[in-house]
Structure 1
Amino acid sequence: MTKTKLRLGLVFPGGGCEADFYRFERDTGEAVRVYFAQARYGAVEGADHHPDALRETARVDWIAQAAHRLSQVPLDALVWACTSGSFINGRRFAEEQARGIAAATGVPTTSTSLAFAAAAHALSARKVSLLATYPQDTVAFFTSFLAEYGIAVETSRSLGFDSGWISSGFDGDALMRAAEKAVAPGTQALLIPDTALPTLDVVDALEKRLGLPVLSANAVTLWHGMRTSGRVVPVNGLGTLLADFGQMPAA
């Protein structure tokens, strides 16, 4: 008997990194299907990574409005697939944001920032390095968010991109070089936020080069989306989290 496909709904602002999610879908043998909806997002003089812009992007009504466009799909879980639009107002807001989206849609919901916290805890990574696309003032909000979950950022590197559209054009070779410079000795994982940033083509190679787990926004989004659905599908070649830790019992 053919197993029912796991259906994940991904709501995100902007775009540019759909190929990562389609690669994951392909590598599961289409055991997992992904469905997209684009939400409205804020901008300050064209900068969507500005903290004030992100507070607009984080609006539950905007996210839920986008999610309702997926209402004809029987989703198993929904992910607000935006790191900065979920961490910007801190832990309590991020948790309430996910509950608000779930209440509005009737679908179990998480977000990329909540996924980062869950993934770091699953790996027992309490001291981490951070490579962030965002300007430094926005990076500080993510650092504070992680601290609320007992995760200490030992060192961080900001690429200073003021828009997700810039992140989406950052190539894999440049990402590998930047990641090598971001890691501090003694840290237990490298975190790379921003779902607009393509990572799944390089995360496996990057882990081998660095000798530690790499948690990218798109990897944690998919991993925690599956766990939120109550069913996980392990996938090889896309990093430690989606392979070994994909086999952990769902939370």
Structure 2
Amino acid sequence: MTRVGILYPGHSAENDYKTFAELLGGEVELPVVHTLMREDAHRVDALLDVGSEAVLAEGARELAALEVDSAVWACTSGSFVFGWEGARRQVQGVRDVTGVPSSSTSFAFVHALAQLRISRVAIAATYPDDVARRFVEFLTAAGVTVLSLASHGIATAAEVGGLDPDDALDFVISNDHPRAEAVLVPDTALHSADLIEPMEALLGKTVLTANQVSVWEGLRLAGQCQARPGPGTLLRSGASVVRSAFAAG
């Protein structure tokens, strides 16, 4: 049994990982360790605290005791707000503590796009605009072209976790771009496991969600590269040898 350890800040959509495990047929375990969230706020200062070295190290120690095969810091905004180099240092810190291949959701998006050979995207972000624009900067540093950005402006992860599924679906499909090869939905606080297939069917293109790419990245790092029945184009694509975007992974 492959065990992909998930470091997850606070409580909002962590049960999405249980759903992903069920959809993957019970062959994968996705144990979740909750990291400290002093303030639930989609604000840069709060996110810098959420992803701080001490907070991640404490969670990583707990994850290491679970004997996982890989580890993912499952907080997109709590990684990309540190910028490319800061996010790399986060991953290195988690790997140093856990002793297993590690990554974060922000880098998982980059690696997933490389796997699918996609370079032009639209973003449907639940965050406030100033936070969402930092994700654009992160992707741009990876050579990704962001054709459009929609910000839902939701202030907390708890609010995102409580979004009605139909509202979440409408938000994503309403914020496609005709020239985008994929739509990215970058908040791990959003329940997405059961929405990816409907989104892709309605849009006729790839949809990458934060929890989805986190699961895929963890499997890739654990050496589980076979194609799976989904959910979504990404998991059905398997994982070829993706060149890591950072030395630590």
Q: TM-score range by the shorter chain?
A: over 0.9
Gaps of 5+ in 1: none
Residue 168 (structure 1) shift: 0.3
Which deviates more, 135-144 or 24-33? 24-33
Is 1:15 the counterpart of 2:7 in the alignment? no
Q: Is the 8 A contact 1:226 1:232 kept in 2?
A: yes
Residue 89 (structure 1) shift: 1.4
Please state whether the residue corresponding to 2:79 is helix, strand or coil. helix
Is 1:25 the counterpart of 2:21 in the alignment? yes
1:108 is matched with which residue: 84, 101, 107? Answer: 101
2:49 is matched with which residue: 30, 38, 56? Answer: 56
Which deviates more, 231-240 or 56-65? 231-240
Amino acid at match of 2:24: T
Amino acid at match of 2:22: R
1: CA distance between counterparts of 2:27 and 2:153? Answer: 37
Q: Give the alignment's Cα RMSD to 1 decimal.
A: 1.5
Aligned residues: 243
Q: Is the 8 A contact 1:76 1:229 kept in 2?
A: yes
Please state whether the residue corresponding to 2:117 is helix, strand or coil. coil
Is 1:183 the counterpart of 2:179 in the alignment? no
Within 5 A, what are the aligned runs for 1:3-152? Answer: 5-43=1-39, 47-152=40-145
CA offsets per residue over residues 103-127 of structure 1, 9 Å max, x none? Answer: 1221211000000111112112211
Which deviates more, 149-158 or 171-180? 171-180
TM-score by length of 2: 0.93
Which deviates more, 66-75 or 90-99? 66-75
2: CA distance between counterparts of 1:126 and 1:42? Answer: 36
Moved over 4 A (4+): none
1:248 is matched with which residue: 221, 233, 240? Answer: 240
Q: Is the 8 A contact 1:76 1:107 kept in 2?
A: yes
- For CA contacts below 8 A with separation 6 or more, give which structure has more relative contact order: 2
For residues 155 and 177 of structure 1, do their structure 2 counterparts lie closer, same or farther at Cα, with a shift above 3 Å needed? same
Is 1:214 the counterpart of 2:207 in the alignment? yes
For residues 236 and 186 of structure 1, do their structure 2 counterparts lie closer, same or farther at Cα, with a shift above 3 Å needed? same
2: CA distance between counterparts of 1:147 and 1:250? Answer: 18
2: CA distance between counterparts of 1:159 and 1:69? Answer: 34
Residue of structure 1 in register with 2:221 after alignment: 228
Gaps of 5+ in 2: 244-249
2: CA distance between counterparts of 1:42 and 1:124? Answer: 38
1: CA distance between counterparts of 2:14 and 2:154? Answer: 19
1:164 is matched with which residue: 130, 136, 157? Answer: 157
Please state whether the residue corresponding to 2:110 is helix, strand or coil. helix
Q: Is the 8 A contact 2:114 2:242 kept in 1?
A: no
Residue 240 (structure 1) shift: 0.5
Amino acid at match of 1:35: P
For residues 158 and 250 of structure 1, do their structure 2 counterparts lie closer, same or farther at Cα, with a shift above 3 Å needed? closer
2: CA distance between counterparts of 1:42 and 1:54? Answer: 10
1: CA distance between counterparts of 2:171 and 2:108? Answer: 23
